[in-house]
């Protein structure tokens, strides 16, 4: 890390509030990604954002690494989202059960769990870009739509829950709320990743040992 990185590393944003769930249907103005330098430190914060959001959801990180083209974060599946009915791609499909009559209240609860878990999964996919924007001092001014792999993953989670595309803005607000709350740990992981280039499971766990992530933040 060079001297020019120090002001950004010491930056502490104000904590942003979680948006009310009714905002999932709120239409925000569409905005373009602001211009800023995409350097090694910015990429480190991008991956650190994914790490912190995932840990806040109750998951674990296998590794975070800077690559020639950007970075990659490998994760373990969080128990919280499994409890809400999500399934990881490598999880075997459950055996088919005979169909049973579902009450209206049970159906409503199932649908609410599905869209809630989907919006939080989308929020995780969007964490990297929002961490970059927070680092560079940009506030939320509207929904940011992109054609990146992270943005496409977020849209997949939104669409599978039959939510409107406008809920991207809601998910970005969720992301910003969690990241600003845990920003000291975002910065801690980013600094280590910027220095070492790769962090394993044990290193990340040690860095986040005092984070006290509460999985109920997503409830």
Q: What is the mean pLDDT of each run of 10 residues along the chain (219 residues)?
A: 60 87 95 92 96 90 92 77 52 55 62 78 94 95 93 92 93 96 95 96 93 52
Show Cβ contacts of residue 215 under 8 Å, excluding neighbours closer than 6 positions: 56, 57, 58, 78, 79, 80
pLDDT of res. 117 = 83
Cα 4 to Cα 8, 16, 39, 116, 157: the distances in Å are 8, 27, 12, 40, 38
**Angle 151-152-157 from CA coordinates, rounded to 5°:** 100
* Cα(152)–Cα(203) distance, integer angstroms: 30
Q: Please state, rounded to an integer, the average pLDDT across all residues of the chain.
A: 84
pLDDT of res. 20 = 94
pLDDT of res. 40 = 94
May I ask the CATH architecture of the domain 39-87+108-209?
A: Up-down Bundle (1.20)
Could you report the per-residue pLDDT of 79-124, keeping only the tens digit for each?
655 555 555 444 444 555 566 666 666 655 656 667 788 898 999 9
User: For the chain, what are the domain ranges?
Assistant: 39-87+108-209
pLDDT of res. 116 = 85
Task: With beta carbons less than 8 A apart as the criterion, state whether 146 and 36 touch.
Answer: no
Q: Is 141 helix (H, G, I), strand (E, B) or coil?
A: coil
β-pairing, 60-67 vs 198-200, is antiparallel
């Amino acid at each position: 890390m060079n001297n020019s990185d120090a002001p950004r590393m010491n930056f502490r944003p104000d904590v942003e509030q979680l948006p009310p769930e009714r905002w999932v249907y709120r239409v925000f103005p569409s905005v373009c990604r602001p211009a800023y330098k995409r350097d090694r430190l910015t990429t480190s914060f991008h991956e650190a954002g994914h790490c912190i959001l995932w840990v806040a959801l109750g998951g674990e990180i296998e590794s975070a690494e800077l690559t020639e083209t950007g970075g990659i974060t490998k994760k373990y599946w969080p128990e919280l989202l499994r409890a809400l009915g999500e399934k990881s791609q490598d999880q075997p499909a459950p055996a088919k059960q005979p169909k049973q009559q579902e009450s209206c209240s049970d159906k409503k609860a199932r649908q609410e769990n599905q869209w809630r878990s989907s919006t939080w999964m989308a929020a995780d996919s969007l964490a990297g870009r929002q961490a970059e924007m927070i680092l560079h001092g940009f506030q939320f001014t509207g929904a940011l739509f992109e054609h990146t792999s992270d943005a496409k993953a977020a849209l997949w989670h939104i669409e599978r829950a039959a939510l409107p595309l406008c809920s991207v803005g809601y998910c970005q607000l969720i992301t910003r709320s969690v990241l600003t709350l845990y920003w000291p740990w975002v910065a801690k992981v980013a600094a280590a990743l910027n220095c070492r280039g790769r962090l394993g499971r044990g290193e990340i766990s040690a860095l986040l040992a005092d984070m006290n992530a509460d999985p109920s933040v997503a409830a």
